[in-house]
Chain A
Amino acid sequence: MSEMRTEVTDADLLAYVDGQLPPAERERVAQYLDANPGKAAEVAHWQRQNDALHALFDPTGHEALPARLRPAEIARGRAANWNFRWTQAAAALVLVVLGGAIGWAGRDIVTSTEASDALIQSAVVAHSLYVNENRHAVEVAADDREHLVTWLSNRVTQPINPPDLLAEGFTLVGGRLLPPVEYGKTGPAAQLMYENAASQRVTVYITSALPDGKTAYTFTSRGPHEAFYWANDKITCTVVGDLADAEMQKVATKVYQHLTRNPDGMTTYHRG
């Protein structure tokens, strides 16, 4: 213990009133105040300021919480809102993009199979692993786009033409190849990574179609990540991100439109 300080500063007096002094210091300041009535009056006034502030505002802290300030209520509202909006968005897409082709068959397209669940899980895990990488975020960078497209398309055995998300503020970082979720059942996956100016990243996880080739879509959140999955007779695609709801929806919609409107967009490359 160092020698006892004899000076009492204004900071000491403030800390005394704010109850932020250790007991020994408190005692020292109290003795000082006994001997200095001018300072004591000032400190007493500060104490009355504290009393008045507590009298004014402490009651607010004891009021019953209205529902809108209950975190559980807010969380429920968020989930409902999110599902509602996804349902709307997805329903609109189904009507517009698939409606003409499949007609009433569309009633049955909302399916949730074990296989698609495994694909989503795999897409989310890959997303959370690689979005945190800097130097090794992708295997092939976007500046080698031609090679990226050729390589991934050949390995996935479907043309993979990275969607253009510039309008949504995202540029392509590059892509990588990932192993099949279940050997023999699904093919390897291509992961495309996009990034915006705020360094937020979105990944698009594409495999060739599941054996049943059925059309399906689903939307889900896994931990902090949001995922939008859909499948047709050619590919499955899972868009994963951690964006605000509205932005995530815009990006997923764009990817979906790009890959379904133009499923053979790579014909010039793939089939000559």
Chain B
Amino acid sequence: MSSFLDEIEGCVPALRRYARALTRNADRADDLVQDCIERALRKQGLFRPTGPLQAWLYRVLLNLYRNGLRQSRRRGDHLSLDAMVVEPAVPAPQPGRIALAEMSRAIDQLPDEQREALLLVVLEGVSYEEAASILGIPAGTLMSRLSRARAALRQLTGTGEEPRLRTVK
């Protein structure tokens, strides 16, 4: 039992990071992680044979996150869908790097499914195969979500290196 607790604790920093990136809100992220651990402790008898702990915890966390989104949408306090409309890119302060504030805003504007996939692969370093399994989607779907997320982020963040992308009106 205590080694199970230790194993979970070993996963908590990564879960926090992923939750923070998904929600961009420290309190909400920690609430999610706490719920996730509680659920894990409740279900511990059921999951053991089914694979790596960390992947399972990501899955639990994602479910909680999506349930929370559904609830807040029912309450009406959500971002509208036209958040996806591409805004004119603000020039980055440092050439060759993406301004962090700009990136944070851009991440906000990605559709949920693209954000979940991109953060799992890039931030968490999860393999494509495992990410597809955690998200419950085929490998091809994962690749197309990653590709669309990359393209959207590129449009949303200017770096001053590709002037042809930004047409001045």
Is B167 interfacial (CB 8 A cutoff)?
no
Chain A, interface size: which category? 35 or more
**Residue on A nearest B125 in the bound complex, by CB:** A19
Q: How far is the CB of A73 from chain B (nearest CB, A)?
A: 9
Within 8 A of B (CB), among A173-222: none
Of A11, A19, A41, the residue contacting B161 (CB under 8 A) is: A41
- Interface residues of B, dominant DSSP: helix
**B122 contact set on A, CB distance < 8 A:** 18, 49-50, 53-54
**B6 contact set on A, CB distance < 8 A:** 71
- Interface residues of A, dominant DSSP: helix
Is B134 interfacial (CB 8 A cutoff)?
no
Of B45, B97, B150, the residue contacting A46 (CB under 8 A) is: B150
Q: Is the CB of A49 within 8 A of B9?
A: no
Interface string of B108-152 (1 = CB under 8 A from A): 000000000011011101011000000000000001001100100
**B128 contact set on A, CB distance < 8 A:** 15, 18, 20
**Residue on B nearest A59 in the bound complex, by CB:** B17
Q: How many A-B residue pairs have CB under 8 A?
A: 121
Of B30, B100, B154, the residue contacting A45 (CB under 8 A) is: B154
Within 8 A of B (CB), among A50-99: 50-58, 60-63, 65-66, 68-72, 74-75, 78
**Residue on B nearest A19 in the bound complex, by CB:** B125
Q: Is the CB of A78 within 8 A of B13?
A: no
Is B8 interfacial (CB 8 A cutoff)?
yes
**A72 contact set on B, CB distance < 8 A:** 2, 5, 9
**A41 contact set on B, CB distance < 8 A:** 161-162
A34 to B143, CA, bound (A): 24
Is A244 interfacial (CB 8 A cutoff)?
yes
**A65 contact set on B, CB distance < 8 A:** 9, 12-13, 16
Of residues A15, A18, A244, which shows the largest number of chain B Cβ atoms within 10 Å of its Cβ? A18
Is B33 interfacial (CB 8 A cutoff)?
yes
Within 8 A of B (CB), among A33-48: 41-42, 45-46, 48
Top 9 A-B pairs, shortest CB-CB distance: A224-B45, A61-B17, A52-B103, A71-B8, A52-B98, A61-B13, A71-B5, A60-B20, A57-B21
Seen from chain B, the residues whose Cβ lies within 8 Å of a Cβ on chain A are: 1-2, 5-6, 8-9, 12-14, 16-17, 20-21, 26, 29-30, 33-34, 37-38, 40-42, 44-46, 96-98, 100, 103-104, 107, 118-119, 121-123, 125, 127-128, 143, 146-147, 150, 153-154, 157, 159, 161-162
Beyond A18-B121, A57-B21, list 20 extra A-B contacts (CB 8 Å). A41-B161, A46-B150, A48-B96, A48-B98, A48-B159, A49-B157, A51-B98, A52-B97, A53-B122, A56-B104, A56-B107, A58-B17, A61-B17, A63-B13, A69-B12, A69-B30, A72-B2, A74-B34, A74-B41, A244-B42
Seen from chain A, the residues whose Cβ lies within 8 Å of a Cβ on chain B are: 10-11, 14-15, 18-20, 41-42, 45-46, 48-58, 60-63, 65-66, 68-72, 74-75, 78, 223-224, 242, 244
